[in-house]
Amino acid sequence: MSIRAHSWFHPLSTQPRIEKMPFKFTGFTDEAEKTLDAQIYTLRECGWNAVELRLLDGKNVCDQTDDEWAATRDRLGAEGIEIVGFGGQIANWARPVTSDFQKDLDELRRVAPRMRETGTKFLRIMSYPNDKDRPLSAADWKAEAVRRIKELAAIAEGEGVILGHENCNGYGATPEGFLELAEAIDSPAFRLIFDTGNNSLHDNTCDSTWDYYQKCRDHIAHVHIKSARPGPDGATYVTCHVDEDPTQRRILEDLEKTGYDGWLSIEPHIKAAIHAGQDVDDSGEARRVWVEYAGRLEKLVAEILG
């Protein structure tokens, strides 16, 4: 595959320098390119030096063999690229509350040492969607989700890593559900990864995202940036660029005001959506969109910080 630089935007070279930047930038580069080399190139095009890993050549990083992982670790280390998080599969949309729990235990025990050796803090998880074919009652669903995540959190706490619950699929898809989980699990290893677009896309209103944010703000440890607006039919929400969704500015302004100084990790879902089987192709278009999204986020943050 030929990798060509795009002239549209080089964020760090064109944005005004801010003396005190409260946020740091990273993202899921598998939405730009498939191979590790091409994902590194994407980061370089943005001027970024941190990544949130998920798919590499179509394989989840959490499923890599020891040799595959060693090659990934060493390549990123040689490039000076920090690994902020792993986009794990624990409790996600493909693993309902009735699925084999051993898979999740095995995944955590496999990746926790890898996270420690690279100083990686976050393992993204979800919270066990109910079984579509054999749904549990609400009470049983909650009880089983709590049981599983509590056991996982105990392991994570011992390993010194954080299970970052994304507001996506599972019992914690609603703010009320997440708060119930947080209270029941009661572990410093169970925190919230807040995605700024998931609820808008799920509920077809940005009010849903703002509601989740307000109710769960104190639990946020990490932020995924995704944006949404009404699609052509005016009702169904679709992904868009970050400055086309006013909720993004509202959230970023509040994060800055309330002292959040962590990562903003882009997951645009514009040209690729892993859960929907929408993968990147070899045209370079997905990378162009990803780099543009990164630049527009930096521009928005610069405007907010003045």
pLDDT per position as a tens digit, 234-284: 999 999 999 999 999 999 999 999 999 999 999 999 986 655 566 677 788
Report the CATH number at residue 264.
Answer: 3.20.20.150
Query: Whole domain around residue 274: which residue ranges?
Result: 22-305
In a domain, 273, yes or no: yes
pLDDT digits (tens, 9 = 90+) for 157-179: 999 999 999 999 999 999 999 99
In a domain, 2, yes or no: no
Provide the pLDDT for residue 278. Answer: 62
In a domain, 30, yes or no: yes
In a domain, 4, yes or no: no
C-alpha torsion angle, residues 61, 223, 138, 97 (rounded to 10): 0
Give me the number of domains the chain comprises. Answer: 1
- Alpha carbons within 13 angstroms on the beta-carbon side of residue 194 total 26
Provide the pLDDT for residue 7. Answer: 31
Does residue 10 register a pLDDT over 60? no
Provide the pLDDT for residue 17. Answer: 47
pLDDT tier for residue 138 given thresholds of 50, 70 and 90: very high
The Cα 269–Cα 203 span in angstroms is 16
In a domain, 13, yes or no: no
Q: Which of 272, 267, 225, 273 has its CA nearest to residue 249? A: 225
In a domain, 3, yes or no: no
What percent of the chain clears pLDDT 90, i.e. is strictly above it? 88
Instruction: For residues 76-98, give the mean pLDDT.
Output: 98
The Cα 217–Cα 195 span in angstroms is 12
Q: Which long-range contacts (CB under 8 A, 24 or more apart) does 217-221 make?
A: 217/254, 217/258, 219/178, 219/179, 219/182, 219/191, 219/192, 220/191, 220/192, 220/193, 220/194, 220/260, 221/122, 221/162, 221/164, 221/191, 221/192, 221/193, 221/262
Kindly state the tokens that stand for 265.
Answer: 């990790």
SS3 content of the chain, % helix, strand, coil (to 5): 50, 20, 35
Sequence-ordered list of residues with C-beta below 8 angstroms from that of 67, at least 6 positions apart, any chain: none
